[in-house]
Chain A
């Protein structure tokens, strides 16, 4: 049986705008991936623990509140602490381009801003998970 790509879609922080997260979850499913959806208000600790227990290939974080510079790096740090730095971490939401560089330096593989086609995210995942 072929191993499906497993993706954890999580919303760290407190914002409740999950339209984007749900659309991307569906798009990934329709592309044949297994998506674990953990819903709103997730702490970095919860996200990382879930990523490990669920043995995911990718963690996709969505945030619209502006707390990304605080919360995204926490996720990558914790993954590293748990020895799971091979998990691909990507982010999306309302994130100013000026922050992309900082986030990437903290181990976020890619940031997808508003208006990104779901296809672009899917292609990125397929390409980078295969490389692993």
Chain B
């Protein structure tokens, strides 16, 4: 009898024994499922991993297919970057918050922009009313950006900017600020999100239609590969896809599908895959199902490595690596009993770290209610520090590898993601799938299913649909000063009066000409930024040439 047969016998005996005792000691539920609703078996054994090849499927950290991590020593070398997303009100206030965070031991900045900035409107645009400085910092021109980074040496920090549709403009502003500090672009480290496809799908801060948006993105790839070589030119984001309600497998699948679309667009634009692929980075969510989340990151790395090597023929191992930032799941936080959120965030932090993230933002407990206060931001950061310094999980590489359950989950997420990728290929790729509403529909279906499960009590959310208490209204929430908008408008007015408007007009005209042709748009955008043209003015020029995206809606 072979070992495998012996094992099958033994597992059979175990299951038979369980079946017998079930009548007397029933299990809690008829069906057990993961956070994403996938079935979970009672027990996992080596049988679940039969036919898998350790070297080919898991391998070693720092080696293809990177299932076990992208660096060979992982956190034994250094911890992940603890990067807290922050920004509100105006540049002055946000600058203060960044300095606070750096003093507290944050190792990278992560800039949150307000919605008008993210959609390319100046603070005095009619649609900006009520929105200025609300969910992030308002940036109208280079003048604001100079204040935002005042006293922060840009060659010493790495800065992540959550900016998509107008990413080229904000990147140009960052480069221009660096110039003024005497820092050359090749010394800059950081990331722009620059992921327009997930905006159409899940986040909603789009401006232009897909065609010109993809052009802007490939323009950035090309420009940075020469001028800003250490910049992560895109952060292909599953985060918002998950927040919109997707499952873990969908998060992987739709994110990688977007990634494929970006690579294809850049290759089609004539770039060599190994020239830009090492600068691609990813951004994932961390939800509460610890093992499923860990499996998700591991599966994502393996699938991406194979796509890059086999499908795109990338030769540079750095092109195969899926490096990612993680943020804990905003949609998992409850407005009820908000202190419980600290515990959720701790579990999610473990998931991200056990999954081998390169950087992490931990949400603050009050984010289901408002923007976080300094106190709650500190607790969130401390959560990361406790996991890093006290929990011991960072002392060895990929500690959950070899767990029958985690490896099975990794294989399952991989298989489900591959099935989705095949379907999206059939539809003609991610852009087509988005235009047809396929991806949105899949996400919405999952979101609705989840909501109904919660409402039926089939899924327990502590404090929300079980273990509720009477609560008083929370106090001490952060409020953005409503006069921020007015002050920002005054600043704009003063700027328009003070700057060399002939120079502004000339730079905008040059940008228009470039947009109508097929030149790289980064240089003319940089020129306009240097002339203190506003974000809204620059985006309006492009709106005029490119038109605006109009979503279709499907249910």
Contact = CB atoms under 8 A, between A and B. Distances in A.
A84 B116 CA distance: 30
B203 A16 contact: yes
Interface stretch (A51-59, A65-73, A123-131): A65-73
B451 A23 contact: yes
Contacts of A23: 245, 444, 447-448, 451
Interface residues of B, number: 47
Count chain B CB atoms within 10 A of each CB in A19, A71, A117, A119 and give the residue with the most.
A19
A98 B129 CA distance: 21
B336 A115 contact: yes
B408 interface: no
Interface in A65-94: 65-67, 69-71, 94
B37 interface: no
Interface string B107-142: 000000001101101000011111100110000000
Interface residues of A, number: 34
Given A16-B199, A65-B134, A118 B447 contact: no
B480 A66 contact: yes
B386 interface: no
Contact of B553 (A29, A39, A69, A94): A39
B335 interface: yes
Interface string B530-555: 00000000000000000000010101
A106 interface: no
Given A16-B199, A16-B205, A26-B448, A114 B368 contact: yes
A98 B244 CA distance: 27
Contacts of B465: 117
Contacts of B455: 117-119
Given A66-B370, A70-B130, A96 B477 contact: yes
Contacts of B244: 17-19
Interface of chain B, helix or strand or loop or mixed?
Answer: loop
Contacts of B482: 69-70
A9 B476 CA distance: 31
A118 B130 CA distance: 27
Nearest to A117: B455
Interface in B229-255: 243-245
A5 interface: no
Contact of B127 (A41, A66, A119): A41
Nearest to B552: A39
Given A15-B204, A19-B447, A43 B126 contact: yes
Interface in B181-205: 199, 202-205
Interface of B: 115-116, 118-119, 121, 126-131, 134-135, 199, 202-206, 243-245, 331, 334-336, 368-371, 444, 447-448, 451, 454-455, 461, 464-465, 473-474, 477, 480, 482, 551, 553, 555
6 contacts: A16-B204, A19-B245, A27-B451, A69-B130, A70-B129, A98-B477
The 7 closest A-B pairs by CB, nearest first: A16-B204, A70-B130, A67-B130, A14-B115, A97-B473, A66-B134, A114-B335
Given A14-B116, A15-B204, 15 more contacts: A13-B115, A14-B121, A14-B131, A17-B203, A17-B204, A19-B447, A22-B447, A26-B444, A37-B555, A43-B126, A66-B370, A70-B482, A71-B129, A96-B473, A117-B455
